[in-house]
Amino acid sequence: MATARAADEAPAPAAPAFDVKNAFRNICGFCHEDYGRKQGKGPQLMDNPNSDDYLFNRIRNGKPGRMAAFGGAFTDDQIREIVVFIRKLKPNENP
Amino acid sequence: MKRHSRKAITTASVAVLAGLAFGAQANEGILKRSANDWPSYHGDYKSWHYSDLNQINAGNVGKLTEAWSHVASRATRGLQGFPLAVDGVLYYSSPYNQVYALDGATGQMLWTYKQKLNEDLVAKQTHSPYNRGIAVGFGNVYMGTLDGKLVAIDAKTGKLNWETKLVNSEKLTVGFTGAPLLVKDKIIIGSQGGEWPWRGPIFGVDAKSGKEAWKFFVVGGNEGTASDRRDTWGGDSWKTGGGGGWMPGSYDADTDTVWWGTGNPAPLYDWAGDEWMTKGPRPGINLYTSSVILLNPDTGELKGYHQVLPHDAWDYDPASGELMLIEQGGKKYVVHPTKAGFVFVFDRTGKPVNVYKGVDNINFVQDIKPDGTLVGRRDMKEGKHGNLCPAIAGGYSWNSGAYSPKTGLLYKVGFEWCMDLEVVKTTPILEPMAQLNIGANFTFQPPKDGPARGHIRARDPVSGKVKWEMKFKVPPHGGLMATGGNLLFIPEADGWFSAVDAATGKVLWRHNNGQGHNGGTITYMAKGKQYVATVTGFGSLVGDAYGELWGEPWVSMPKDAGVLKVFALK
């Protein structure tokens, strides 16, 4: 099979600003299926009954064996954006 | 490398451990394995997960009873490893890189080792804190750690002899969870990789000194050598290509060749669809991801390869799946069940000579020809796609199958499950530390031909012809083991531990271990008596999906408990 000869292509530029949807797709969706609208390895996030503070702390600090801590990967402001993203999830509308 | 004040193991102290596996020629302990021992993750280099022992056999297995047990602390996500047994001593690892040495006959604890981990880092890892196994040799027990080290623990005392930092886990997030493989005077270990934006190396380390001897980059090969194929990655995508080799491979002493299955490229899914050669996040065939590679154990030089899935767009990496060295009709093969649900049969040069379907629900390709050529790829562009089979967890999962030379049959758990997905564009997240790069949202679904389910098929390993089948409403997720007693042991997902007639599949013995199994089963002799050991505990990245698909008892099953269970005849 022929191989790609794309050395002249420019590298993908780094994301200039926090893209919450990209972050969710990259990372969170591995466990929280369908943008968090369905239970997967992790629980459904849409209509989650826990408070915003609870979600913030869970994302920031994780829970051993159940969820990694993303406090090192994301700033507190970015985690708040993820919480807002979760709160806007709707059953039949892609975020 | 960090060397500790404790001196490396000496010849004199090695002599205390009489078995070949711990001797100066540790390689021989695996190559000429005593039936009394289980000295390597896959049993020995043939990787059959088989023992000749027959004190426990199809005629008396009904009298098998629990002899002793050992509870592991902090067993988050259960025990996922394989114990090893040498000279009547059983060694096993548990989450958070803990290792135990126990008297194989009584369970009397000999020592416990707890690796000093960067706990903040471990808390940030998604594929963690489990450990899937260890290696023994040169008086050491070897283990890869969650924070990127290879450690050598004195097999007699449980003290750290040396540790070598191999992966900058603080930056890359990942480290090691798979078992090392001892080959000659090297410890070979593959890093985690596939989902993360880096180059996922496989390492060779001097087994005595701990000095890194070589490193092979799964993504693109090694610069300045004949293996350099970064040209199979468009642009700079090779810098963030994933790879790794997260389960141990095999060694063919006849050709002095290490066989290793490699991890998938990142992102897992590719929005370019069928234009992947020139577009998308990683244009090209992406060597050497999702491949079987053949390495020189002394130098790490690439001797050959077969890319099982050129430009893998489905996360069916053949990093998992044992590489069984099997002879049949005077010919030598390597038989490799892959996550894609196909079984590859290679000659000893790495050339496929047969490929057959091991599970029923496969539609990511129409077929794979006996020479390994993919036919009718299903490349998915950005957007929603239904009923991709098998599901991301694989037609075959990472736990091992078994092969019995007595029956001539290969035994393997197959999974019938699919998923719906939405392929999405992603950008790698590298700062402040690397993060998963999946490239899709997905949801598990039953296949079109019935409920999600599983089976164990006993088949000719070369032709694939099935001799018998056991059907499971819920597939087991522990490693199988076959024995010279005409037995096949099956650690099931609901807690049952079963022994069946290896020739027929008839159930001969069952015992409930109280929680699901995610790890392996071995057998060994201690003080003249045969023992069977298995590990319990559920909640791996595959096991976590069981609650979603099958409800109870997996929803409520503990995710933080694990016990070593050892059985013998009454």
Does residue B90 surpass a pLDDT of 60? yes
Mark yes or no for CB contact B284/A9 under 8 Å. no
- SS3 of B379, please? coil
Residue B10 burial class via C-beta count within 10 angstroms: exposed 0-12, middle 13-18, buried 19 and up: exposed
Contacts of residue B267, Cβ cutoff 8 Å, sequence gap at least 6 = A26, B242, B281, B282, B426, B428, B437, B438, B439, B440
The residues of B carrying an active-site annotation are 315
Specify the pLDDT at position B19: 53
**What digits encode the pLDDT tens for the residues B497-531?**
999 999 999 999 999 999 999 999 999 999 999 99
A14 interfacial to chain B (CB closer than 8 Å): yes
Task: Report the gap between the CA of A51 and the closest CA in chain B (Å).
Answer: 22
Please report, rounded to a whole number, the percentage of residues in chain B having pLDDT higher than 70: 95
Q: Which amino acid is at B32?
A: K
Specify the pLDDT at position A25: 78
What sign results for the dihedral spanned by CA atoms B379, B381, B386, B388? positive
A5 interfacial to chain B (CB closer than 8 Å): yes
Pairing mode, strands B250-252 and B212-217? unpaired
Does residue B11 surpass a pLDDT of 60? no
Mark yes or no for CB contact A41/B437 under 8 Å. no
Does residue B32 surpass a pLDDT of 90? no
Does residue B565 surpass a pLDDT of 50? yes
Does residue B431 surpass a pLDDT of 80? yes
Does residue B39 surpass a pLDDT of 50? yes
Q: Using pLDDT thresholds of 50, 70 and 90, give the confidence band for residue B245.
A: very high
- SS3 of B119, please? helix
Mark yes or no for CB contact A35/B545 under 8 Å. no
Q: Using pLDDT thresholds of 50, 70 and 90, give the confidence band for residue B25.
A: low
Mark yes or no for CB contact B235/A6 under 8 Å. yes
The residues spanned by each domain of chain A are: 20-87
Say how far apart CA B2 and CA B85 lie, in whole Å.
28
Residue B351 burial class via C-beta count within 10 angstroms: exposed 0-12, middle 13-18, buried 19 and up: exposed
Specify the pLDDT at position B408: 98
Contacts of residue B61, Cβ cutoff 8 Å, sequence gap at least 6 = B485, B487, B499, B508, B509
- Facing B442 at nearest CB: one of A6, A33, A61: A33
Contacts of residue B161, Cβ cutoff 8 Å, sequence gap at least 6 = B4, B6, B8, B9, B140, B152, B153, B154, B210
ipTM of the complex: 0.72
**What digits encode the pLDDT tens for the residues A36-69?**
898 888 889 999 999 999 999 999 999 877 889 9
Mark yes or no for CB contact A4/B233 under 8 Å. yes
Mark yes or no for CB contact B235/A7 under 8 Å. yes
- SS3 of B219, please? coil
Asked if B501 and B62 touch (Cβ cutoff 8 Å), the reply is no
- SS3 of B33, please? coil
B2-141+177-205+213-230+241-268+281-371+386-569: CATH topology? Methanol Dehydrogenase; Chain A (2.140.10)
Say how far apart CA A58 and CA B237 lie, in whole Å.
32
Matching CATH number, A20-87, of 2.40.70.10, 1.10.1840.10, 1.10.3720.10, 1.10.760.10: 1.10.760.10
Mark yes or no for CB contact B539/A65 under 8 Å. yes
- Facing B426 at nearest CB: one of A1, A22, A66: A22
Q: Position of tokens 């949807």?
A: A21
Query: Chains A and B: how many Cβ contacts under 8 Å?
Result: 139
**What digits encode the pLDDT tens for the residues B262-285?**
999 999 999 999 999 999 999 999
A46 interfacial to chain B (CB closer than 8 Å): no
Using a CB-CB cut-off of 8 Å, the residues of chain A touching B432 are 72-73
Q: Which candidate, B179, B182, B226, B232, places its Cα nearest to that of B205?
A: B182
Strand-pairing partners, residue B152, are B142, B162
Residue of A nearest to B126 (CA): A68
Mark yes or no for CB contact B433/A62 under 8 Å. no
Range of lowest pLDDT (B8-17, B161-170, B278-287): B8-17
Residue of B nearest to A26 (CA): B437
Specify the pLDDT at position B537: 96
- Facing A73 at nearest CB: one of B124, B440, B444: B124
DSSP-assigned letters across all residues of B451-478 = SSEEEEEEE-TTT--EEEEEEESS---S
Task: Report the gap between the CA of A19 and the closest CA in chain B (Å).
Answer: 9
A16 interfacial to chain B (CB closer than 8 Å): no
Residue A9 burial class via C-beta count within 10 angstroms: exposed 0-12, middle 13-18, buried 19 and up: middle
B255 interfacial to chain A (CB closer than 8 Å): no
- Facing B441 at nearest CB: one of A29, A62, A72: A29
Measured from the Cβ of residue A18, the count of other Cβ atoms closer than 10 Å reads 14
Contacts 24+ apart (CB under 8 A), B182-185: B182/B26, B182/B27, B182/B30, B182/B40, B182/B135, B182/B136, B182/B137, B182/B142, B182/B207, B183/B27, B183/B251, B183/B258, B183/B297, B184/B27, B184/B297, B184/B298, B185/B26, B185/B27, B185/B138
Mark yes or no for CB contact A4/B231 under 8 Å. yes
Q: Which amino acid is at B141?
A: V
Task: Report the gap between the CA of B436 and the closest CA in chain A (Å).
Answer: 5
The backbone region for B211, taken as left when phi is positive above 0, alpha when psi lies in -120 to 50, beta otherwise, is beta
Mean residue pLDDT across chain B: 93
Q: Position of tokens 């090969």?
A: B221
Q: Which candidate, B286, B170, B240, places its Cα nearest to that of B426?
A: B240
Q: Using pLDDT thresholds of 50, 70 and 90, give the confidence band for residue B26.
A: low
Mark yes or no for CB contact B436/A35 under 8 Å. no
The residues spanned by each domain of chain B are: 2-141+177-205+213-230+241-268+281-371+386-569
Specify the pLDDT at position B12: 31
Specify the pLDDT at position B24: 56
A52-61 vs A76-87: helix crossing angle, rounded to 10:
130
Half-sphere exposure of B367 (CA within 13 A, CB side): 6
A17 interfacial to chain B (CB closer than 8 Å): no
Task: Report the gap between the CA of B341 and the closest CA in chain A (Å).
Answer: 21
Give the tokens for residue A78: 């970015």
**Contacting B residues, span 323-382, partner chain A, CB-CB under 8 Å:** none
